[in-house]
Amino acid sequence: MTKTVLIWAECRDGSLRRVALEALGAARRLAGDDGEVHALLAGSGIPSGAANALIEHGANVVLVAEDPALSSFVPEAYLAALQAAVDAAQPETVLLGHTAAGRELAPRLAAAREGGHIADVVAIEGDGSDAGLFTRPLYAGKAFERRSFAPGGGLRVVTIRPNNLPPADELGSGRSGSVRPLPFTVPPLYTAVRSLVRRAGGRIDLAEADVVVSGGRGVHSAAGFEPLQALADVLGGAVGASRGACDAGYCGYGLQIGQTGKVVTPQLYIACGISGAIQHLAGMSQSKVIVAINKDADAPIFGVADYGIVGDLFEIVPLLTDELRRTLPTIGA
Ligand code: FAD
């Protein structure tokens, strides 16, 4: 029987999120050569070109649910579109990004379909069949759990952590696929979004950034984040923060990383003036390379850091920024 995997191709600010292409890449591998990948594009004013981009990256079918009720993320409305996509595609597995919206939708879908749910997956082994194993970090990355779905357990719903699985390769603009409108009924909505105020700088999405420069209480003020922003700009990264910095009012909670904030897994995480409390580590310890700058040589952050610099961040960060500004254009030249 042909295997079908459905992904939710999440969009933001008029373009596909990178995690949508990561889900597509994982779906292609799960579906195998003979299987099909269907992608749901849901929204109001869906970005032009998104459907074609999905086809070019390996989707066989793109289901387009376009409705004003989807202009903001209201879980009931998005769940209705997702359920319609499941009805249309009849997949064994549904993949979503482990984003704020994906985390809301996935368990709702699994419950509505009496299926199984594995969340926050960072690696997938096998083809997603009964023997397929899904790896997820536990205890702030101190342990990893490999889970599989029980045989005959119904729909399999998986969220994947951004920045961990390789995105789907572009297979070429000549690739053909089917783009279909997806009719669905908007259910009674229990909540409505009245306004949306973006607090974070938001130049680059923190959850998907390759480089994160984070500040803690050691930055001492809102102005103390300026050198961190300069370093992030040079590296093409995003700025994050510890809860200590947010609680102190140095930045908005939109930047908070950790157990009660965002989880990030960039290629490079630079922690500046952050002590390394376990709740902070829960949000960043899976970063590929961790650099810590702290004037306390005994700060616990050095326990997880690949590179540690003991010193005053206000001396070190500008030096690093200047040096990178000078050398970066020549790297790889
Ligand atoms: P501090 O612990 O005060 O550390 C500041 C560091 O800056 C120190 O190590 C100091 O040596 C260094 N420093 C000071 N000046 C300089 C300088 N000039 N140059 C270099 N270094 C300097 N925290 C999170 O981050 N994220 C969460 O999601 C989170 N969730 C929580 C949930 C719960 C239920 C609880 C109880 C706590 C949570 N916390 C969270 C809070 C956490 O326990 C810590 O209090 C917080 O992470 C500390 O922030 P910090 O490292 O910035 O501050």
**Mind listing the pLDDT tens digit for each residue in 152-181?**
889 999 999 998 899 998 887 778 899 999
**Residue 301 Cα: closest atom of ligand 1:** 9
Q: Are residues 128 and 259 in the same domain?
A: no
Residue 112 lies in a domain: yes
Q: Are residues 8 and 53 in the same domain?
A: yes
> What percentage of the chain reaches a pLDDT higher than 90?
76
Instruction: Domain of residue 35: give its range.
Output: 4-181
Please compute the mean of the pLDDT values over residues 180-195 and round it to a whole number.
92
197 pLDDT tier (thresholds 50, 70, 90): confident
| Dist. CA 266–CA 287, nearest whole Å | 5
Q: Are residues 298 and 234 in the same domain?
A: yes
Please compute the mean of the pLDDT values over residues 284-292 and round it to a whole number.
94
Strand partners for 125: 133
CATH of the domain at 48: 3.40.50.620
Q: Are residues 174 and 218 in the same domain?
A: no
Phi and psi, residue 284, nearest 5°: -140, -5
Q: Which run of H or of E encompasses 323?
A: helix 313-327
Boundary of a domain, candidates 166, 181, 196: 181
C-alpha 245 to ligand 1 mean position (Å): 7
Residue 198 lies in a domain: no
pLDDT for the residue 328 = 78
**Beta-carbon contacts of residue 21 (< 8 Å; ≥ 6 apart):** 57, 167, 168
Boundary of a domain, candidates 181, 196, 229: 181
pLDDT for the residue 130 = 60
- Confirm or reject: Cβ of 262 under 6 Å from ligand 1: no
Q: Are residues 105 and 172 in the same domain?
A: yes
Q: Are residues 171 and 234 in the same domain?
A: no
Q: Are residues 41 and 152 in the same domain?
A: yes
12 pLDDT tier (thresholds 50, 70, 90): confident
278 pLDDT tier (thresholds 50, 70, 90): very high
pLDDT for the residue 175 = 84
Lowest mean pLDDT among 122-126, 270-274, 306-310: 122-126
pLDDT in tens, 35-85: 999 999 999 999 889 999 999 999 999 999 999 999 999 999 999 999 999
- Confirm or reject: Cβ of 5 under 6 Å from ligand 1: no
> What percentage of the chain reaches a pLDDT higher than 70?
95
C-alpha 188 to ligand 1 mean position (Å): 43
Q: Are residues 45 and 154 in the same domain?
A: yes
Atom 8 of ligand 1, residue of closest alpha carbon:
275
Residue 199 lies in a domain: no
Q: Are residues 168 and 281 in the same domain?
A: no
Residue 101 lies in a domain: yes
pLDDT for the residue 13 = 80
Residue 161 lies in a domain: yes
Residue 286 lies in a domain: yes
The residue ranges of DSSP E strands in the chain, in sequence order, are: 4-8, 11-12, 15-16, 36-43, 61-66, 93-97, 116-121, 123-125, 133-138, 143-147, 156-160, 178-181, 211-215, 238-241, 268-272, 289-294, 307-310
Q: Are residues 138 and 171 in the same domain?
A: yes
Boundary of a domain, candidates 165, 181, 197: 181
pLDDT for the residue 190 = 87
Lowest mean pLDDT among 19-28, 131-140, 319-328: 131-140
pLDDT for the residue 177 = 92
Q: Are residues 155 and 27 in the same domain?
A: yes
333 pLDDT tier (thresholds 50, 70, 90): very low
Residue 19 lies in a domain: yes
Q: Are residues 122 and 174 in the same domain?
A: yes
Q: Is the pLDDT of residue 330 over 70?
A: no
Residue 47 lies in a domain: yes
CATH of the domain at 301: 3.40.50.1220
Please compute the mean of the pLDDT values over residues 204-213 and round it to a whole number.
88
Mean residue pLDDT across the chain: 92
> In total, how many domains does the chain have?
2
